[in-house]
Amino acid sequence: MPGTNLTRQEAQERAELISVDRYQIALDISGAPQGGTSSSGSDGSTGATGSAGSAGSAGASPRFGSRTTVHFTARTAGATFIDLIAPEVEEVVLNGTALDPAEVFADSRIALPGVVEGANELLVVARCAYTNTGEGLHRFVDPVDQQTYLYTQFEVPDARRVFACFEQPDLKATFEFTVTAPEGWTVISNSPTPEPVDNVWHFEPTPRLSTYVTALVAGPYHAVHDTWEGEGRSVPLGLYCRPSLAEHLDAEALFAVTKQGFDWFEEQFDYPYPFAKYDQLFVPEFNAGAMENAGAVTIRDQYVFRSKMTDAAYEARAETILHELAHMWFGDLVTMEWWNDLWLNESFATYTSIACQAQAPGSRWPHAWTGFANQMKTWAYRQDQLPSTHPIMADITDLDDVLVNFDGITYAKGASVLKQLVAYVGADEFFQGVRTYFKRHAWGNTRLADLLAALEETSGRDLTSWSRAWLETAGINILRPEIDVDADGVITRFVIRQEAPPLPAGAKGTSTLRPHRIAVGLYDPVDEALVRTHRIELDVTGEETEVPELVGRPRPAIVLLNDDDLSYAKVRLDPESTAQVTRRVGDFTESLPRALCWASAWDMTRDGELATRDYLALVLNGIGKESDIGVVQSLHRQVRLALDLYAAPEWREEGLARWSAAALERLRAAEPGSDHQLAWARALAASARSDAELDVLAGLLDGEVTIDGLDVDTELRWALLRRLVATGRADEPAIEAELRRDPTSAGEEHAAAARAARPTAEAKAAAWDAVVNDESLPNAVREATIGGFVQTDQRELLAPYRDRYFEVIADVWERRSHEAGQGIALGFYPTTQVAQETLDATDAWLEAAKPSAALRRLVTESRAGVERALRAQAADEAAA
């Protein structure tokens, strides 16, 4: 039985047999408000067979009516299947002949045995289930107004949870939605929103789309409208959120970023925005950052900021907005043929969103590549050193493969390689190739070869070998400078050595040396600042690359390989540069070289080449001069991770004490009201441990302690309380009191996290039971509970759950939906138990359980983290 999977071969065979013309989909969600709580709805796991059960049966999940008529053309007579996950199928009619649902519907498929050559018409009538997992049609009840809010999330294969469809990206069609909704609701889809007639909303057919970018959002949403004007055209713009968030919706800022993206993308792509309108809908309990539904982008409503945020948060939100807008062209207008080329969608959108922030006139974030180097590429480097590393162009054999492939390689490594490709072929030539690509393949499906062909035409370069080296191999290279100088400090030899470390055990393929286009920057002190005094750009190939241009120059204070971050490689500093960076990293006049040095130091710490105690010293020495708030916040996260997992156990407490003391000191010294002040307040809230530090948290929370300029608002209050709860300084009455102050869905999630963070065996058992056994728990509350459960300074309390994890995870994976299973598999893995026993327990389970490839990947990735932590701890101990 196929379960809910679909193989690439099955998809290819189906695409060879049929093409799809149009869908007519009628959904009845008029009963959606009934039910009462946000935890209603199914877990979203596998569909039932036949027509067992009914909407009114005891224990049944809330359901909605789904009626789909599909018009498709078959090249020959034969048999195929259509996809559907539903608890009940009432009617299946193919070309006028009724089929028995009990005979043709099983797992996630309806068998179609009587397909005729030429035109076919299929009718499927079903009762589908609302979910609370963020998959299919998610149903949420806002505790503030007790109103119901719905939205769909279909990527990768979840349109079939709402209507019968041929669920693969290359079977594009038009979609005509008719929706019966409760009175007073707003319904939004891919086409412009019509005026309802008797609460029935009939949408005009869409252009040809893949199933996964169709969308439906419905409920009493709050809306703000605007228009983008350009090239004699206007595009209606809409912003939507729940009314309980309306006071926080900064529409002017959101529209400004959106319009900036329209201006820049239309100029770069030379192809008009392809849809009739552009709505952005901030929806609750969303699993991802956002989703590129054509003309109806859904975004997690945490991006409607309820409290003061640093500029880094606004920069990250802007990148998400621009990323999804770029998808309207790359992904929606032109779509990958199969999920092998998922990276094309995500890498292109990531690269162009950062490029837009960095280059668009009037952008607030002209240094966007700094954040990319310090955050996105760090993600890529980490992913590329896991046993699951894979080529950018991954071999996706089925849906299970792609579901775990939304990773740092698909997004960040791919975007890094595209950035290098732009440097290699030239920016003008790159975007000219993209323009050719859009015009040639509009509304169709493509493979990597189609994009490369367009780029070869415009650049005149043969990209075959480049593609083979960068897109079809896995792993990461290391670049090291080797510098010889004479007695006067003049460079006599400069070599860039490239290494290709072996891939991790279990990874497929072999390591390889690659061609790199990089810059080398020379930095020297000028008036107490570190300034770039010379830069060259060159190609690095093979194991050694001589750089004769630098011979005869005085040895600079710092030599920085891959300056300007053109290539994708781990960069090492030579010993003299390392010493200078340790003392003076904050003296760089530009943010990007600082970020590159920070990233190099962090990577060396993860690799055990720099002891955690030395990394802490480096950060404490230089972070005070770091102006980029995004980098500051990244350093906060990295220091805590290093101290929690990479520090030698016997020194860990000393390191943590030094860090928390520094956080309090810098909080008090920060400019009142500044982003740095807020960032240090959050750092203290995450790390306070001494009685004096916890007294400050308690005082800030109850108002007895004030710090000039620091607004202890809703989100900061929860952060303070969670740390007090985790350390035993507060308990359930304080949580209940805070929830009364913030009786929102976000407040409920914070309260769940705080309860799970309590340092008692009873609290841990309750949190574990809720996540593992309560399938009614909404996805956002489940995620918050896991986050509260895992407290790195509660290792002894968490120790018993190492064995419990391996006892339950196979069953959890089997019976829960993908999102729930993945969240539990990753979140509850015993990461805090850094010991050989954890590795042994993992290996024994892998051998005995023989899990599916997707679950095996998640567990082996987590195992690799423990293995790395053991090596880093040994390096830190040796440094003592």
Round to whole Å and give the CA distance between 131 and 627.
44
Decide if 559 contacts 468 (C-beta within 8 A). Answer: no
Give the residue among 568, 560, 553, 483 at the shortest CA–CA distance from 520. Answer: 560
Q: What is the CA radius of gyration of the chain?
A: 28
Report pLDDT digits (tens) over 327-360.
999 999 999 999 999 988 999 999 999 999 999 9
Q: Is 303 exposed, middle or buried (0-12, 13-18, 19+ CB in 10 A)?
A: buried
- 51 pLDDT more than 90: no
Round to whole Å and give the CA distance between 744 and 189.
27
- The two three-digit tokens of residue 271, written as one number: 């192809």
Burial 785-810 (b: 16+ CB within 10 A, else e): bbbbbbbbbbeebbeebbeebbebbb
Report pLDDT digits (tens) over 226-236.
999 998 999 99
Give the residue among 296, 299, 329 at the shortest CA–CA distance from 206. Answer: 296
% of the chain beyond a pLDDT of 90: 93
* Strand partners of residue 282: 299
- The two three-digit tokens of residue 513, written as one number: 């040396």
Decide if 354 contacts 368 (C-beta within 8 A). Answer: yes
Round to whole Å and give the CA distance between 655 and 810.
37
Round to whole Å and give the CA distance between 534 and 560.
11
Residue with tokens 């029935």: 200
Report pLDDT digits (tens) over 218-268.
999 999 999 999 989 999 999 999 999 999 999 999 999 999 999 999 999
Round to whole Å and give the CA distance between 661 and 653.
12
* CA distance to 109, 292, 585, 595, 787, per residue, from 471 (Å): 34, 24, 34, 26, 35
Round to whole Å and give the CA distance between 550 and 483.
10
Report pLDDT digits (tens) over 574-627.
999 999 999 999 999 999 999 999 999 999 999 999 999 999 999 999 999 999
Which is it for strands 118-129 and 63-74: parallel, antiparallel or unpaired?
antiparallel
pLDDT at 56 (0 to 100): 31
H or E segment to which residue 345 belongs: helix 342-359
* CA distance to 178, 239, 459, 493, per residue, from 201 (Å): 6, 19, 48, 73
Q: Quote the Cα angle for 9-12-16, to 5°.
A: 140
Decide if 678 contacts 308 (C-beta within 8 A). Answer: yes
- 42 pLDDT more than 60: no
- 37 pLDDT more than 60: no
Mean pLDDT, rounded, for 672-682? 98
Round to whole Å and give the CA distance between 545 and 522.
17
Phi and psi angles of residue 216, each rounded to the nearest 5 degrees, phi first = -145, 130
CA atoms within 13 A on the CB side of 178: 12
User: Three-state SS for 119?
Assistant: strand
Return all residues near 252 (Cβ < 8 A) that are at least 6 apart: none
% of the chain beyond a pLDDT of 70: 97
- The two three-digit tokens of residue 723, written as one number: 């740390």
- How many H-runs (helices) and E-runs (strands) does the chain carry? 29, 28
Report pLDDT digits (tens) over 794-832.
999 999 999 999 999 999 999 999 999 999 999 999 999
Decide if 633 contacts 310 (C-beta within 8 A). Answer: yes
pLDDT at 4 (0 to 100): 87
Q: What is the average pLDDT value for the chain, to the nearest integer?
A: 94
Report pLDDT digits (tens) over 687-707.
999 999 999 999 999 999 999
CA atoms within 13 A on the CB side of 141: 15
* Strand partners of residue 369: none
- 1 pLDDT more than 80: no
Phi and psi angles of residue 35, each rounded to the nearest 5 degrees, phi first = 130, -40
Decide if 563 contacts 596 (C-beta within 8 A). Answer: yes
Round to whole Å and give the CA distance between 92 and 29.
21
User: Three-state SS for 607?
Assistant: coil
Per-residue DSSP letter, 159: G
Round to whole Å and give the CA distance between 428 and 268.
9
Report the length, in residues, of the chain: 880
Decide if 404 contacts 822 (C-beta within 8 A). Answer: yes
Residue with tokens 């062909």: 453
| H-only helix segments in 587-690 | 591-606, 612-622, 629-641, 649-669, 675-687
Decide if 244 contacts 411 (C-beta within 8 A). Answer: no
Round to whole Å and give the CA distance between 471 and 467.
5
Residue 841's CB: how many other CB atoms inside 10 A? 18
Query: 404 falls in which pLDDT band (50, 70, 90)?
Result: confident
Indicate the pTM of the whole model. Answer: 0.95
- The two three-digit tokens of residue 304, written as one number: 């409607």
Round to whole Å and give the CA distance between 707 and 712.
9
Round to whole Å and give the CA distance between 210 and 171.
7
pLDDT at 506 (0 to 100): 84
Report pLDDT digits (tens) over 69-122.
999 999 999 999 999 999 999 999 999 999 999 999 999 999 999 999 999 999
Return all residues near 15 (Cβ < 8 A) that are at least 6 apart: 168, 170, 171
Evaluate the omega torsion of the peptide bond into residue 156 and state whether it is cis, within 30 degrees of 0: yes
CA atoms within 13 A on the CB side of 662: 17
| Sheet arrangement for strand 529-540 | 529-540, 516-526, 558-563
Tell me which residues are annotated as active site.
324
* Strand partners of residue 149: 140
Which of 39-43, 329-333, 729-733 has the least mean pLDDT?
39-43
Return all residues near 117 (Cβ < 8 A) that are at least 6 apart: 74, 75, 76, 77
Q: Is 533 exposed, middle or buried (0-12, 13-18, 19+ CB in 10 A)?
A: middle
pLDDT at 2 (0 to 100): 52
Of 58 and 513, the one with more pLDDT = 513
- The two three-digit tokens of residue 264, written as one number: 């820049």
Decide if 623 contacts 635 (C-beta within 8 A). Answer: yes
Q: Quote the Cα angle for 590-593-598, to 5°.
A: 120
Round to whole Å and give the CA distance between 307 and 318.
17
